[in-house]
Structures are given as structure tokens and as C-alpha cells.
Amino acid sequence: MSNQSEASMRPTRTSTPSPARLSRRTLLGSGGGLGVLSALACFAAPGASAATRSASALSASGLQIGGSTRAFRLAEHAPASSTRVLRSAGALSTVQVQVSGGHMVGVTFPAGTTAGSVAVRTRVGGTWSAWAELPLNDSEPDPDSLDARTAVAGSDPLWVGGLGSSATVEVRLPAADVATAQLHVVDAGSSRSLLAAPADTTDTTEAPADAPVVDGVPPVTTLAVARPAITSRAGWGADESLRKGAPSYSQTIKACVVHHTADGGSYGRDDVAAVMRGMYRYHTVSLGWSDLGYNFVVDRFGGIWEGRAGGTNLPVVGAHAGGFNTDTFGVSMMGDFTSVAPSAETLESVARVIAWKLSMYGLPAKGSAVLTSAGGGTARFKAGTTVTLRTVNGHRDVGFTACPGNVGYTKMDAIRNRVAALMSASPSSAQTAIAAKYAALGGAAGFLGAATTAEGKVPNGRGSFQYFQGGAIYSTPELGARVVRGAILAEYARLGWENALGFPTSDDGPALGGAYTHFQNGSIYWSPATGARDVRGAIRTKWAASGWERGSLGYPVTGDSRAAGGFFTHFQNGSIYYSAATGAHLTRGAIRDKWASLGWERGLGFPLVDDTRTPNGKGWYNHFQGGSVYWSPATGAHAVRGAIRERWASLGWENGWLGFPTRDEYAVAEGLRVDFQGGTITWNSRTGELTAKRS
């Protein structure tokens, strides 16, 4: 690496829970902050009424799909039926179903069902298995995704092995849910593609031929960590006719989410391919998703299996972490790790597939990622919330869930440590993070073009940088290598590079009609109409809470700027002002214009609240340190302050007989006066007397 100073190398600056298996319902009900109904509502088909919603993604006309999935309506317990209710105990009922064949079972419900618990057991050859509690599936699609459009609610599936030609399944569930619940029995079968596959079934072809070109996606040949053996979908016998639509892609990968399948069934090495087929069929046919939810699955013997279709090296959007499926990939450990630990073989393979995938995108094992929640029933953060997470997360870090199990979650630090060790010990670890990122983005043939500087250290020694024809890459061990380019890069340089905003925490990303890059100490947003502007601190937090550029304020039109005793940023549709005494508050429209005409913060002082609708719904107001501004369509915006404001407040503000102010404070012979819709308030400068008079 060159020892040149950064200033000499960079372009010249210009002015430019408990051990019990907990269901999602239990977790939501114990402090998740979201009701169960809202948690499950995203599963409903658009426009479906409660009376017409099905408990299954199977069509109503055929309960048997290709001989591999059978659905039994638990309410059908007439004498002629093979289904009967055995007994009811309190709020729970036990329903018995006679079945022939099958390897995996699960229970589905209409979208919005609030059943609290489901358990199943099986009898084969006269011997009953133990009861197995089935938590509600919480590996969830994002709202409005293709997966969510036809999805129903359902338990996690349970591998029960071969049920044989005559078996009994008992389902224990709330009595209120028997009428709409369905038992799904999945026969994983033997796949023709599996029987015809060659002995080497590892996934060596990455993206499908028709995969779209995605910015930031590395080609197959640029691997910073050796690629582990991954059994392809063809290798485990995926029936591709079950998939719905084409794969969806993110622009990049920012983080990983680790899961467990929560399947407490016992499987052998020879069963794993069938477990994959059963889980795939349950996700698509029974739950109605477009494909298997996870991007990768790792069995207890250390085998790694390709999950969702679309290319293992590409940023395929899965259905594994509701609210956070974009820009992440999901790795699920096959099994239930609530009270037992994953095997050493499982943990090693989980670490290897994560290290390989992270290395392609220039991400550190122990770094951070800035993600925006899409919301949804199990998401910990409401839609639009920007969250800083780790590069490697457990599912419960982003969702209200017990996943990846209480014991499984205790292994997260061990997984991160192993991923870091694999990345540092790889043959290509001598390659810097910047070089790996550059290669992953296509090198000189990519959008960055040829290098224009050598790689160098920043003056404070905390990171590295390199400039290219199309931008720059900045890197630190904690944050990884990130791309900054265009007008955002020019503004970053003008502000003092990493000395002002710190190092980038995200790559250059698309915004609504523009672009952005997040940094340690703020963000820079750009649009053609506004240029590149920085937003920082409490003002940035307030703007983010309002919806970023998609919210009511739009893009920033100034950078972070000093006010008299604080800071401000102007936006397309308003302003946010901050002081240590008042915090950050936004003001817009006619109220902001009136405040501005009175001298901004040097006049009425800083805002104490955001613009707020009046209780009667007829107007808006904002309180400032030195007074208030009230607006209504009939009166416009006017300021009221001092003793006159206090008297008006005592008479009920705009809800009193005076109504809204119709004129700013003005001088009269006695002193000062403010006109209102219903009268006036006059302050006598000699006596201090206040007189409220009706019109």
C-alpha cells in the first residue's frame, strides 16, 4: 500500500424468552407492541373477506396436489368422514385424522387467525409419538411482496418420516380454530430430477441465464473466500413447477440473518434431501409463498443446501425475516435449537457459507449494516424505520420471534468469530478489502472504471481509500469497504471527507428520484433538483422519522447549517431546526413562512414542537420559545406572543369565542393589540391590563 498522503492522492477539493418453544403469537402478546391480528393480516389475499378466505394456499377445488400434498379440513368430523373430533378440554380440542403416506405435517389457518398453540402427534403401527408443539411460522415475507399476496397463516412444518400406508395424526389446537384449520400432510416423494442427477450435485452454476443485471453484484470468478460445497436445487430434487413468478433481487447484500427451521423432527443423513423437498412444498403449496423462504439451509451433518432460486451469489430477496428480506440473505439451521445446541458441523458450515457470501460484497464479519424496515407482522421495527444492525444477525434481532432458538442464539458470537477467522485466513486475505470490493464490482470493466490513485491510508490512520474514474472506495475494518461516487463524493470531499462525516456505512444507494450514502456522522442525499446535501444528528433523526425523502419534507435543499444557538436544515417542503434546549422540530408551509418573516430563531426563537393540527381540526399551529404561530384556511398564519398569547390561551385558544388570530400584533394608542375572528385582545402598556373584547 502506498504511503502517499491522502490529500496528495485524492482529487483537489472544489466548492462542489424461556426454553419452551414459543410461538410468534406468544411473543407478540408479551410485549411486541403489535397485536396478533395486525401481525397476521398481511397473509390475507387482497379483497378476501373473512368468510371467503381459505386456510390453505391449495385451490378449493382440489385438496390433493400431484399426490404430494393433502389437506384435511379439521371441521369435517361427520361419521362418514375420516376426520373426527376426539375430545375437548377447556379451550383446546384434539382432532384425529387417518392418513396414508406422507413425511411432513403442518397446520394452516386463514390469514388473521389468532390461535395460540398447535401440537401434533402421530401413530404408526400402534405406537404414538410424543406431542410436538408447532409454533406459528415466523419466517415471513415482506408486506406487498409476491410471497405475501397469496400467503396464509400456518405452523412450522414437522418432519415425521415415513407414515406408511395407514397412520393416524392427532392435532391439538384451540377449539375456536377447528372450524377453519387444515392439517397438511406432505409426501416429499422421489424426484425425477434427483434420480437423474449426476453424482456431483453441488451448485456450481450461480445465476440463472435470465437473471437481471444488478448493480453491486459480483461475478462468479471474484471470490475473496473459498466457496463451500453447496448442494443445488437440482441436487435435492426441487420441483421448479411449484415456484411462482421470477426471483426478486436487491441491489446488494448488506447483512445476513441466521435462523433455525424450528423442526423438532429427527432426520438422518439420507433424509435431508427429502426434508428440503418437503419444506419447499410446504412453503409454496401449503403457505402459498412463491418459493422456499431461506436462501441457504444447513443440516446437522454440515451439508449446505441451496434454498430460494435465483443464484447463490446474487442478492436474491427471500421470505425469511419479515421487514428485512431486502439486502439480506437468510441461512437456516435445520432443526429446533430451543433447548439443544447446533452441532459443531452445522456451526462450521453456517460460518463458511456466510464468510463466502459476505466476502463477495466486501463486508466484514463484525461490522454494521444500515437497513430500512419494510414492516410486517413480526418485524421489530415499523415500516420506514432505519436501523443499524450487525452484519451477522440472529432472526430475533430483527423480529419478534424465538428464532434461532434460545440455545441457537447463544452461538451467534461464535459464528461471527468463526466467520471473521475464515475471512482473515482465506488465501485471498492478502487482498485488501478495497481490492476485493473493486474486483467484486467488475474492476476496470465495472462502473468504477480504472483506478486514478493508489490505495492509501487516511491521515488519521483509521481507514483506507482509493479513487477511480467513477468514484471512490473507503474502508475500515469495522465497516468494510463502501462505494461513494458522483455529486455525493464531491460533497463528501468539500465537507472534509472522513474528518467531518466519518466513514461511509453504506454504498451509494437509490432514493426516491435520487441517491444517498449514509456515513458514521450523518448522510448525504442527492437529487437533480436539489444537489447533494448533508443531514446530521438530531435533525437527521427527525427527518428519518418523517419518512426521509419520501415524507412530507422531501429532499434537503441546504446542508447542515448553523443557526443562532443551534442548527437547521431546509428541505423542499419545510425546515427542521435544532437547539440543545428545544431539540429538533419541523415546521412547514405558511407557519414556517410567517416565522421566517419574523426573523426565524432570532425572532420568535426555536420551535418547541412540530407543526401540529389544532384539536378542532380547523387549522395548524407551532409553539416557539417566544410565542406561537396559528394558521387556518380562513385566516392565514399569524403570530401571538407574550401577555396577549397567555390571555388568549386562558380563553380556550382557537376553540374559545375569539377563534383564530386574523392579524399579527400591532400598535394602538393604549399599547398593543391582536385581532381574532371573534374579537380583540389589547394590552395596555401603561397599566399592563389586558382587555378581551368581542367584535
Per residue in 201-246, pLDDT tens? 445 444 444 444 444 333 333 345 888 999 999 999 999 999 998 9
Instruction: Check residue 189 and give its pLDDT.
Output: 80
Grid coordinates given for 382 = 415499523
Instruction: Check residue 636 and give its pLDDT.
Output: 98
First-last CA distance in the chain: 81
| pTM, 2 dp | 0.59
DSSP line for 217-277: PPPTT--SSPPPP-B-HHHHT--GGG--SPPPB-S---EEEEEE--------GGGHHHHHH
| Average pLDDT taken over every residue of the chain | 82
Listed in sequence order, the residues at least 6 apart from 273 whose beta carbon sits closer than 8 Å to its beta carbon are 194, 231, 235, 236, 237
Which of 401, 425, 449 corresponds to the end of one domain? 425
pLDDT in tens, 271-281: 999 999 999 99
Instruction: Check residue 43 and give its pLDDT.
Output: 25
Q: Kindly state whether residue 254 falls inside one of the protein's structural domains.
A: yes
Q: Kindly state whether residue 472 falls inside one of the protein's structural domains.
A: no
Q: Kindly state whether residue 481 falls inside one of the protein's structural domains.
A: no
Domain harbouring 52, CATH code: 3.40.80.10
The sign of the torsion formed by the CA atoms of 192, 195, 197, 202 equals positive
Q: Kindly state whether residue 592 falls inside one of the protein's structural domains.
A: no
Domain count of the fold of the chain: 2
Helices 412-425 and 344-360, interaxial angle, to 10°?
50
Which of 425, 460, 490 corresponds to the end of one domain? 425
Question: Nearest CA to 408 among 332, 311, 320, 475?
Answer: 332
Q: Kindly state whether residue 258 falls inside one of the protein's structural domains.
A: yes
Which of 425, 458, 484 corresponds to the end of one domain? 425
Task: Give me the residues of the chain with pLDDT under 70, please.
Answer: 1-67, 77-90, 112-116, 139, 142, 147-150, 190-224, 426-430
Instruction: Check residue 440 and give its pLDDT.
Output: 84
Q: Kindly state whether residue 497 falls inside one of the protein's structural domains.
A: no
Q: Kindly state whether residue 552 falls inside one of the protein's structural domains.
A: no
Q: Kindly state whether residue 588 falls inside one of the protein's structural domains.
A: no
Task: State which residues form the domain around 657.
Answer: 618-695
Question: Nearest CA to 640 among 655, 657, 623, 652?
Answer: 623
